[in-house]
Amino acid sequence: MKKDIRELSEVTVRFAGDSGDGMQLTGTQFSNTSAFVGNDVNTLPDYPAEIRAPIGTTYGVSGFQLHFSDSDIHTPGDEPDVLVAMNPASLKVNIKDLKPGATIIVNINSFDEKNFKLCHYESNPLTDGTLDGYHVIEVPLSKLTEEALKDSGLTVKEITRSKNFFALGLMYWIYSRPIEPTLDWIKTKFKKKPEIANANKTALEAGYYFGDNTTLFSTRYKVNPAKLPKGTYRSIEGNEALALGLVAASVKSGLPLFLGSYPITPASSILHALSKYKSFGVRTFQAEDEIASICATIGAAFTGALAVTTTSGPGLALKSEAAGLGVMTELPMIIVDVQRGGPSTGLPTKTEQSDLLQAMYGRSGESPLVIIAASTPVDCFDVSLEAARIATKYMLPVLYMSDGYIANGSEPWKIPDPDKIPEIKVKFRKNSENFQPYQRDENLSRPWAIPGTKGLEHRIGGLEKQNITGNVNYDPENHEFMVRLRAEKVKNVENDIPDLKVKGNPDADLLIIGWGGTYGAITDAVHNLNEKGKKVAQAHFRYLNPFPKNTEEVLRKYKHIICPELNMGQLSVLLRNKFLLDIDSYTKIQGQPFKSSELEEKFANVLGGMSNG
Amino acid sequence: MADNTTMEDVKLKPKDFSSSQDVRWCPGCGDYSILAQVQRVSPDFGVDKENFVWISGIGCSSRFPYYMDTYGMHGIHGRAPAIATGIKLQNPKLSVWVATGDGDLLSIGGNHFIHACRRNIGIKIILFNNKIYGLTKGQFSPTSEKGKITASSPYGSVDYPFNPAALAIGSDATFVARSIDRDPKHLKEIISRAASHTGTAFVEVFQNCNIFNDGTFFTYTEKETKFDNVISIKHDKPMVFGKDNEKGIILDGFTPRVVSLTDGKYSVNDLWIHNEHDLHASRAHIISQFQNFEGVPTPIGVFRHVDKPSFDHELHEQIDNIVKKEGKGNLKDLLYKTNTWEVN
CATH code where residue A543 lies: 3.40.50.920
Nearest to A459 among B65, B89, B331 (CB): B65
- Please, is B105 exposed, middle or buried when counting C-beta atoms within 10 Å of its C-beta (0-12, 13-18, 19+)? buried
| CB spacing of B331 vs A278 below 8 angstroms | no
| CB spacing of B66 vs A459 below 8 angstroms | yes
User: Which ipTM did the prediction report?
Assistant: 0.96
State the pLDDT at residue B15: 95
* Same structural domain, A13 and A127: yes
| B327 assigned to some structural domain | no
Could you give the CA distance from residue B92 to residue B46 in angstroms, rounded to a whole number? Answer: 15
Q: CATH number of the domain that A340 lies in?
A: 3.40.50.970
Instruction: With beta carbons less than 8 A apart as the criterion, state whether A65 and A28 touch.
Output: no
| B334 assigned to some structural domain | no
| A229 assigned to some structural domain | no
* Same structural domain, A241 and A149: no
* SS3 (DSSP) at A469: coil
* Same structural domain, B114 and B244: no
Could you give the CA distance from residue A362 to residue A360 in angstroms, rounded to a whole number? Answer: 6
* Same structural domain, A364 and A261: yes
Could you give the CA distance from residue A67 to residue A31 in angstroms, rounded to a whole number? Answer: 8
CA distance B135 to chain A (A): 14
Give phi and psi for B335, each to the nearest 5: -75, -35
pLDDT in tens, A3-58: 789 999 999 999 999 988 999 999 999 999 999 999 999 999 988 888 888 899 99
Which residues 256-315 of B are in CB contact (within 8 Å) with A? 315
- Please, is A166 exposed, middle or buried when counting C-beta atoms within 10 Å of its C-beta (0-12, 13-18, 19+)? buried
* Same structural domain, A309 and A215: no
* SS3 (DSSP) at B166: helix
> Which residues of chain A does B334 touch, with a Cβ-Cβ cutoff of 8 Å?
244, 247, 277, 280
* Angle, CA A246 vertex, CA A242 and CA A252 arms, to 5°: 140
| B338 assigned to some structural domain | no
What does the pLDDT average to over B134-140?
Answer: 94
| B302 assigned to some structural domain | no
| A481 assigned to some structural domain | no
* Same structural domain, B146 and B242: no
* Same structural domain, B168 and B270: no
What does the pLDDT average to over B276-298?
Answer: 95
* Same structural domain, B177 and B252: no
Domain hosting B149: range is 5-221+309-316
| B336 assigned to some structural domain | no
Nearest to B341 among A36, A283, A287 (CB): A36
Domain hosting A217: range is 4-223
Task: For residue A236, name the pLDDT band (cuts at 50, 70, 90).
Answer: very high
| B304 assigned to some structural domain | no
Which residues 89-128 of B are in CB contact (within 8 Å) with A? 89-91, 93-94, 111-112, 115
* pLDDT higher than threshold 80 for residue B2: no
* Same structural domain, A155 and A122: yes
Task: For residue A1, name the pLDDT band (cuts at 50, 70, 90).
Answer: low
* Same structural domain, B56 and B19: yes
Could you give the CA distance from residue B109 to residue B78 in angstroms, rounded to a whole number? Answer: 4
* Same structural domain, A105 and A213: yes
Q: CATH number of the domain that B34 lies in?
A: 3.40.50.970
Q: CATH number of the domain that A128 lies in?
A: 3.40.920.10
* SS3 (DSSP) at B182: coil
| A470 assigned to some structural domain | no
| A453 assigned to some structural domain | no
* Same structural domain, A295 and A263: yes
* Same structural domain, A203 and A316: no
* Same structural domain, A149 and A51: yes
State the pLDDT at residue B6: 47
| B132 assigned to some structural domain | yes
| B339 assigned to some structural domain | no
* Same structural domain, B216 and B235: no
Task: For residue B9, name the pLDDT band (cuts at 50, 70, 90).
Answer: low
* Same structural domain, A270 and A404: yes
pLDDT in tens, A98-152: 999 999 999 999 999 999 999 999 999 999 999 999 999 999 999 999 999 999 9
* Same structural domain, B47 and B168: yes
What does the pLDDT average to over B70-78?
Answer: 98
| CB spacing of B74 vs A461 below 8 angstroms | yes
Strands B201-206 and B175-180, how do they pair?
parallel
* pLDDT higher than threshold 90 for residue B295: yes
Last residue of a domain, one of A223, A244, A270: A223
Q: Tell me how many residue pairs between chain A and chain B have CB atoms under 8 A apart.
A: 221
Could you give the CA distance from residue A159 to residue A153 in angstroms, rounded to a whole number? Answer: 9
State the pLDDT at residue A266: 97
For B47, name the nearest residue in chain A, comparing CA atoms only. A452
* Same structural domain, B211 and B259: no
| A278 assigned to some structural domain | yes
* Same structural domain, B156 and B19: yes
CA distance B163 to chain A (A): 22
Last residue of a domain, one of A174, A195, A223: A223
| A85 assigned to some structural domain | yes
Which residues 54-73 of B are in CB contact (within 8 Å) with A? 54-56, 58, 65-66, 68-73
| A426 assigned to some structural domain | no
pLDDT in tens, B206-220: 999 999 999 999 999
* Same structural domain, B177 and B254: no
* Same structural domain, A363 and A238: yes
Could you give the CA distance from residue A487 to residue A368 in angstroms, rounded to a whole number? Answer: 6
* Same structural domain, B16 and B159: yes
* SS3 (DSSP) at B304: strand
Last residue of a domain, one of A383, A404, A420: A420
* Same structural domain, B263 and B159: no
Q: What is the count of structural domains for chain B?
A: 2
| A371 assigned to some structural domain | yes
Could you give the CA distance from residue A526 to residue A251 in angstroms, rounded to a whole number? Answer: 38
Q: What is the count of structural domains for chain A?
A: 3
